[in-house]
Amino acid sequence: MRIVLVGPPGAGKGTQAAYLAENLSIPHISTGDLFRANIGQGTRLGQKAQEYMRAGQLVPDEITIGMAKDRMEQPDAAEGFLLDGFPRNIAQAEALDGILSEAGTALNAVLDLEVPEDEVVKRIAGRRMCRNDSGHIFHVQYNPPKTEGVCDVCGGELYQREDDHEDTVRKRLEVYHTETEPIIDYYKAQGLVVTISALGKVAEVTQRAMEALGRGP
C-alpha cells in the first residue's frame, strides 16, 4: 500500500505512523525525521534545513523533493510506504504524482487526521521525543514515560523539539493552513481522501485508521 498521512502539526501523525507502518508491513517515511537525522549528523542538507525548521517554515522544495524521492527509491519501499509530512504543498504533491507515475505506481489513499487546534497546541506543548528513535514519542500528560525524561522502550534520553516552542508552533499552524491544507482538495479530486477524527486514545485512533483503510477487523 502507498499511503499519505496528512494533518496539522501535533495531530499524531508520527505516533500513528509507527503503529500503522507495523500493521501494514510498510516503511514509515517522515521528511521531518529525515531532516532531524541530517541535522543530528551535521550534513549539509541538515544545515540548510535547520534554519527553515527553526522558523517553522517549509524547507524549500528543491531540497525536500529530492530527499523524499531518494528515500522512496530504497529497496524496502518497493512494495509500499507510509508518507508522513510529505507532500506538504501542491508543488510537492505534483512532484509525487510524477515520481509514482514514472515508477508505474500510484497512491492508494490519503489519510487525513482531523484534530481541533486547541488540542494540537496541548499535544505539542507536552511532547517529548526519544533521542535514539523518532518513533518513540511521549507526552508529559497524555502518554507519560514511567521515569521522567527516559524512554520506556529503549532507555534513551527524552527531549523537547526545538520547533515546539509557542511562536514556532503558531507559525507551523499558519503554514499548515495556507500551504498544506490545499493538498487535501487536490487529493479529494482524485478520490483518495479518507478523513478520521484523531481524538481519543492512541489505540482507538489506530483502529479507526485501519478501518478507514479497509484493513479493519
Q: Which residues form the interface with ligand AP5 (CB under 6 A)?
A: 7, 9-15, 31-32, 35, 52-53, 56-59, 64, 85-86, 88, 92, 123-124, 126-127, 137-139, 142-143, 163, 172, 200-202, 205
Contact between 139 and Zn ion by CB under 5 A: the answer reads: no
The torsion region of residue 58 among left (phi > 0), alpha (psi -120 to 50) and beta comes to beta
> Least distance from C-beta 57 to ligand AP5, angstroms?
6
- Give the pairing type, strands 158-159 and 2-6: unpaired
* Catalytic site includes residue 13: yes
Integer Cα distance of 14 and 28 in angstroms:
9
Integer Cα distance of 60 and 23 in angstroms:
32
Collect all residues with Cβ–Cβ distance below 8 Å to 45 and sequence separation of at least 6: 35, 38, 63, 67
List binders of Zn ion among 148-167 (CB under 5 A). 151, 153-154, 156
* Residue (108 or 132) nearer to Zn ion, CB: 132
Contact 148, 37 (CB under 8 A): no
* Residue (46 or 156) nearer to Zn ion, CB: 156
* Catalytic site includes residue 71: no
Residue 138 has a CB neighbour count (10 Å cut-off) of 22
Could you list the active site residues? 13, 88, 127, 161, 172
Binding site members for ATP: 10-15, 127, 137-138, 200
Site for Zn ion, rule CB under 5 A: 130, 132-133, 136, 151, 153-154, 156
Binding annotation for AMP: 31, 36, 57-59, 85-88, 92, 161, 172
